[in-house]
Amino acid sequence: MIAGSRRWLLAALAAAFAVSWFSPHYNRYYLGVAMDVGIAVIMAVSLNLINGHTGQFSLGHAGFMAVGGFTAAKLTMLTSNAFFPLSLLFGGLMAACVGLIVGVPSLRLKGDYLAIVTLGFGEIIRVVFQNSQAFGAATGLTGIPKLTTLFWTWGAAAVTVYVVTSLVNSTYGRGFICVHDDEVAAAAIGVSPTRYKVTAFVVGAFFAGVAGGLYAHHKQVMQPDGFGFIRSIDFVVMVILGGMGRTAGVIAAAIVLTLLPEFLRVREFASYRMIIYSLLIIGLMMARPQGLFTFGKKSASSV
Amino acid sequence: MPENRPNTTRFHARRRLRPVIALAAAMLAAGCNKSNEPSSADVIKVGEFASLTGKEATFGVSSHEGTLLGVEQINAAGGVLGKKIQLLTEDDLSKAGEPATSVNKLISRDGVVAILGEVASSRSLEAAPICQQSHIPMISPSSTNPKVTETGDYIFRVCFIDPFQGTVMANFAAKTLKAKKVAIFTDVKSDYSIGLAKFFKAGFAATGGQIVAELDYNGGDKDFKAQLTAIKSASPDAVFIPGYYTDVALICIQAKELNLTVPLFGGDGWESDQLVKIGQDAVEGEFFSTHYAPDVATERSRQFVASYRKRFDGKTPDAMAALGFDSVMILADAIKRAGSTDGAKIRDALAATRDFDGVTGKTSINEKRDATKPAVILQVKDGRFKYVETVNP
Amino acid sequence: MQWFLQQLINGLALGSIYALIALGYTMVYGVLGFINFAHCDVLMLGAFAASFLAAPVARVLAPQSYCGAAVIILLAAGLCALIGMLIEFLAYRPLRRRPKLTVLITAIGVSLFLEFTCQHPAVFGAATRPFPKLIPQRDCQWRGLSFNTNDIGVLLVTVLLLVALWWIVRRTRIGVAMRAVSFNESAAALMGVNINRVISFTFALGSALAAVAGVFYAMRAPGIEPLMGVQPGLRAFTAAVVGGIGNLPGAALGGVLIGLLETFAGGIPGLSDYRDGIAFAILILILLFKPAGLLGKAQVEKV
């Protein structure tokens, strides 16, 4: 662990706390958007660990978010509001377990197959929640207490960035990039692709679960319908746009892609949003696969 | 080998992040005003969120048109409390997650005094907590799931609820269709469908009937033959399909192909001209319950149908349009009685609504903030919806 | 017994449609090595094309005739063949030399682009629209079993097309070229095979098949909408993998198998809720235990 970033983390947490302290004075709508941004950052950075750094193409990230969200919401509703931080943690842990279950089969699969399998897992998770009475079936959970604040969202985002960055920059973390570049070579030199791939999934899923918990206590409603393939694509676009593997770029992409639809909330634009997204994906892959927010060294071969 | 040095990434991370954080902070500062002025001098802002595009577009468009007609009529008559109503509409794309943002924007950024919406219970459920917490009254035109108004005392609806609708159809099945054994085919993706099925089941059991099969489908599926075969082999006297028109039309077609000739019936999710356009012969003769029938001969209804036709190129209004119209009329009436646009006062006035002469019948808001209204049963005859009977609560 | 036989009929009809779609997936994967996510949307375009062509053709020929239906299907197939070639030319050809992941992401982008453009109110709109009757449909009852002319038609046409495809791949020069390219692209190029033409042809063929499948699917469930291809596409892709991706008979077999499984599972109360998840579960299980599929050969990865 690098000492510098620990200072950064504390500074970020303090700043988040300070800004959050004045929450009641903010316009509710903008407050909501700011929290959405924080949640998006967590999702994008955690997905980046799996897709970008380790090169495992996962299309089911929203499923982990759903697991975390449902678990955390159910827990808070069963116990009490004060349980919130623990609910988040537990939601993350449950999502991490699911990440383990998803990660294990991923060992054998590459590229396209992995993408489809993760997509499949995401859908299976959705179907399970949809049919589970304990989680409200199709209605989902409603009336979740509004416990998410700016501090929690941005604090969790800071922690996510810290953990992921530190992990990847450590000696241990070189293994992720090693597995990304060439699995066979990695195995040949003693870096276990198994271990790194699974670690990536588990850590990524954990933070996605936390993000899910934050989301649940922000929107106050958890419906299985909103966590399918299209939701996962939202985050995949952020990772691609930000340059797979570049944390800073991914954060910037997450912020921009969450704010842009809000600023352009004119009715005519809303129907164009996904069309523009898809063209963005295609265009980026053709012209600038390293992402929009990467400056400095041109690293085309990371994709 | 690829240039992907983490060290430079981290270094860049901090440098790159700073402008982004600065931008975010600036925006937050911009948002640092609590809320906007609710109404400028001479308009009353009313927010509406509806599914104008997407899967359930016909519902949203209908209810929006009804609401729009209502607003135009109110304004033509001079407005409310001397001010004109300004209707601000947001499209929620028939998607989960959108209503929350739409309503947040309407309340916090546009400063509306009340919210109208939505048709689909799941989307109303999403928006209700926000309205409740902001102390902004919300009126749903046609969400029938009981949980919607249970959210809080600022949430109302101007239609009946599924426990009533389920019982109506259960009694209809027992008495009119003379069915002793019924199969239920539920859309497991829709809480409206699940709720209605549940209440139907209870109601039908109360009449002494028996549910012989319960099958599910996923809304949006196109192939139902597997489940319909199972239903057929259970030999029901009728099949209850509490789903939405797009699926119901296909179900009816495939049921007929499988030679399942018993009556098929359902709830207000059937109500759309698309049901007949897609289903054609297969839906002929089937029954469903809904809130309103255009050929019911009250004076109010006739006036409404005429003005709707004039405004919207000869289209006949359906239940969603009628309820949309009634919802804004009842809101305007409540604002008038409250004498102000204060949320709490409007809420109290709404709760006190009694025997309001609406297009869909005399509407009274009960203590659960639902409307005790009769249901009408329609039958598909010659490609149109024909009125069969009214069932009072 | 009757339930069983009826479900058998239902499943075979459905499975034939999946088989037609699966052939397209497997051909493209065999020749180009990636999953053409946009394939399912070509299915949708075929159905829409047929719905628009129905009226003009009915004016020229007799309305609701077998002859007219054949013409409509041919036209729709031809149109989609062109669209398929266009997609390949615009979106995939420029990325021929790039890593497979890039192409996969682009394919997702193309698929989303097609789906959301068609959902836009100015194009088709997201609401379901009726599909016109193309042929006079006769429902037949025989010993209590119901089937109709559509089902028979689908089975016949599928068998015919399979035979035709087999003939093309096995007995024509272009077929030999396709097989060569799927075996080793660079070697084929060195042997004088025009890679671009072969790939275009493959796409054209696959897209035409998808269009036919789309029309039959729409005849079965006469309500078409821009997202109608997603579910059958996923099932068909599962079928292609189950049969061994790159293997034509395998894809057909897989299609029928998946159709049957889905139908039998769907007819069981309690299981029908999970229909969406079942196809994915099958996919994941196959990929875990027999990744080469039922008829495929295990690929040895050369280092």
User: Which pLDDT band, with edges at 50, 70 and 90, does B205 fall under?
Assistant: very high
User: Which pLDDT band, with edges at 50, 70 and 90, does A156 fall under?
Assistant: very high
Same domain, B137 and B182: no
- pLDDT surpasses 70 at B41: no
More confident residue, C279 or B259: B259
Average pLDDT over residues A24-46: 87
Say which residue the tokens 């709760």 belong to: B351
- Asked if B186 contacts B197 with a C-beta cutoff of 8 angstroms, the reply is yes
Q: Do B229 and C10 touch (CB under 8 A)?
A: yes
CA closest to B126 among chain A residues: A221
Give me the pLDDT at residue B21, please. Answer: 57
| pLDDT single digits (tens) A66-103 | 999 999 999 998 888 788 899 999 999 999 999 998 88
Q: Which residues of chain A are within 8 Å of residue B129 when distances are taken between CB atoms?
A: 142-143, 146, 220-221
Using alpha carbons, list the distances in angstroms from residue C178 to B20, C32, C91, C96.
51, 10, 20, 16
Give me the pLDDT at residue B69, please. Answer: 94
> Helices marked H in chain B — which ranges?
6-30, 57-76, 98-104, 121-133, 147-150, 162-175, 191-206, 225-233, 245-257, 273-279, 299-311, 319-338, 343-351
CA end-to-end span of chain B? 76
Q: Do A143 and B20 touch (CB under 8 A)?
A: no
Same domain, B137 and B187: no
Give me the pLDDT at residue B6, please. Answer: 45
B348 falls within a domain: yes
Q: Do A301 and B31 touch (CB under 8 A)?
A: no
A173 to chain B, minimum CA–CA distance in Å?
Answer: 10
Tokens of B99: 């209503």
- B196-200 long-range contacts, CB within 8 A, separation 24+: B196/B144, B196/B162, B196/B165, B196/B166, B196/B242, B196/B267, B196/B269, B197/B166, B197/B240, B197/B242, B198/B166, B199/B162, B199/B163, B199/B165, B199/B166, B199/B167, B199/B170, B200/B166, B200/B167, B200/B169, B200/B170, B200/B240, B200/B242
Q: Do A303 and C102 touch (CB under 8 A)?
A: yes
Q: Do B10 and A2 touch (CB under 8 A)?
A: yes
> What number of other Cβ atoms are within 10 A of residue B354's Cβ?
9
- pLDDT surpasses 70 at A299: no
- pLDDT surpasses 70 at A264: no
Q: Which of C250, C178, A225 is nearest to B122 (CA)?
A: A225
Q: Which residues of chain A are within 8 Å of residue B195 when distances are taken between CB atoms?
A: 139
- pLDDT surpasses 50 at A52: yes
Give me the pLDDT at residue C297, please. Answer: 63
Beta bridge pairs of residue B288: B266, B378
B386 falls within a domain: no
Q: Do B122 and A246 touch (CB under 8 A)?
A: no
Within the 2-61 window of chain C, which residues sit less than 8 Å (CB to CB) from chain A? 29, 34-35
Rounded to whole angstroms, the Cα distance separating B205 from B196 reads 14
- pLDDT surpasses 90 at B211: yes
Q: Which of C263, C283, C280, C260 is nearest to C271 (CA)?
A: C263
| pLDDT single digits (tens) B126-150 | 899 889 988 999 999 989 888 899 8
Same domain, B255 and B323: no
Give me the pLDDT at residue B87, please. Answer: 92
Residues 6+ apart with CB under 8 A from A8: A162, B14
Residue A105: which of C119, C121, C284 has the nearest Cβ? C284
More confident residue, C214 or A223: C214
Considering B275, B290, B305, which residue would you say is the last residue of a domain? B290
3-state secondary structure of C145: strand
Percent of chain B with pLDDT over 90: 37
B26 falls within a domain: no
Q: Do C100 and A111 touch (CB under 8 A)?
A: yes
Q: Which residues of chain C are within 8 Å of residue B53 when distances are taken between CB atoms?
A: 119, 121, 125-126
- Asked if B256 contacts C139 with a C-beta cutoff of 8 angstroms, the reply is yes
Q: Do A249 and B4 touch (CB under 8 A)?
A: no
Domains held by chain B: number: 2
Chain B interface mutation, best of A139, A179, A267, highest count of B Cβ atoms under 10 Å: A139
Q: Is C93 on the interface with A (CB under 8 A)?
A: no
Structural domain for B274, as ranges: 163-290
Give me the pLDDT at residue B29, please. Answer: 52
| pLDDT single digits (tens) B275-292 | 898 988 899 999 999 888
Q: Which residues of chain C are within 8 Å of residue B220 when distances are taken between CB atoms?
A: 227, 231
Give me the pLDDT at residue A297, please. Answer: 43
CA closest to C301 among chain A residues: A184
Tokens of B139: 């009126």
User: Which pLDDT band, with edges at 50, 70 and 90, does A266 fall under?
Assistant: low
Chain B interface mutation, best of C264, C272, C276, C278, highest count of B Cβ atoms under 10 Å: C272
Rounded to whole angstroms, the Cα distance separating C211 from C20 reads 9
DSSP C295: S
Chain A interface mutation, best of C103, C113, C278, C300, highest count of A Cβ atoms under 10 Å: C113
Chunked mean pLDDT (size 10), chain C, 303 residues: 85 92 89 87 94 87 81 94 94 85 86 89 82 81 79 88 89 89 86 89 93 92 90 88 84 91 84 76 81 67 51
| pLDDT single digits (tens) A90-143 | 999 999 999 998 888 776 777 777 888 888 888 889 888 988 888 877 778 877
Q: Which residues of chain A are within 8 Å of residue C97 when distances are taken between CB atoms?
A: none
Same domain, B92 and B56: yes
Q: Do B259 and C222 touch (CB under 8 A)?
A: no
Residue A26: which of B32, B100, B104 has the nearest Cβ? B32
Average pLDDT over residues B380-391: 87
Mean pLDDT of chain A: 82
Mean pLDDT of chain B: 85
Q: Which chains touch A (3 or more CB pairs under 8 A)?
A: B, C
B154 falls within a domain: yes
More confident residue, B25 or A39: A39
Same domain, B276 and B167: yes
Give me the pLDDT at residue C82, please. Answer: 96
Q: Which residues of chain A are within 8 Å of residue B4 when distances are taken between CB atoms?
A: 177, 181, 245, 299, 302
Q: Is B35 on the interface with A (CB under 8 A)?
A: yes
A19 to chain B, minimum CA–CA distance in Å?
Answer: 9
More confident residue, B12 or C290: C290
User: Which pLDDT band, with edges at 50, 70 and 90, does B33 fall under?
Assistant: very low
> What number of other Cβ atoms are within 10 A of residue B197's Cβ?
26
Rounded to whole angstroms, the Cα distance separating C157 from C17 reads 10
- pLDDT surpasses 50 at B122: yes
Q: Which residues of chain B are within 8 Å of residue A245 when distances are taken between CB atoms?
A: 4, 9
Give me the pLDDT at residue C208, please. Answer: 94
Domain layout of chain C by residue ranges? 2-289
C3 to chain A, minimum CA–CA distance in Å?
Answer: 26
CA closest to B23 among chain A residues: A255
Determine the topology of domain C2-289 in CATH.
ABC transporter involved in vitamin B12 uptake, BtuC (1.10.3470)
Same domain, B272 and B207: yes
B181 to chain A, minimum CA–CA distance in Å?
Answer: 26
User: Which pLDDT band, with edges at 50, 70 and 90, does A295 fall under?
Assistant: low
Q: Comparing A28-32, A265-269, B128-132, B182-186, which segment has the lowest mean pLDDT?
A: A265-269
B25 to chain A, minimum CA–CA distance in Å?
Answer: 9
How many interchain CB pairs under 8 A, A with C? Answer: 109
Average pLDDT over residues B193-217: 91
Within the 214-273 window of chain B, which residues sit less than 8 Å (CB to CB) from chain A? none
Q: What is the CATH number of the domain that holds B315?
A: 3.40.50.2300
Residue A138: which of B1, B14, B189 has the nearest Cβ? B189
Q: Which residues of chain C are within 8 Å of residue B217 when distances are taken between CB atoms?
A: 272, 275
Give me the pLDDT at residue B35, please. Answer: 44
> What number of other Cβ atoms are within 10 A of residue A223's Cβ?
24
Chain B interface mutation, best of A54, A142, A264, highest count of B Cβ atoms under 10 Å: A142
- pLDDT surpasses 80 at B39: no
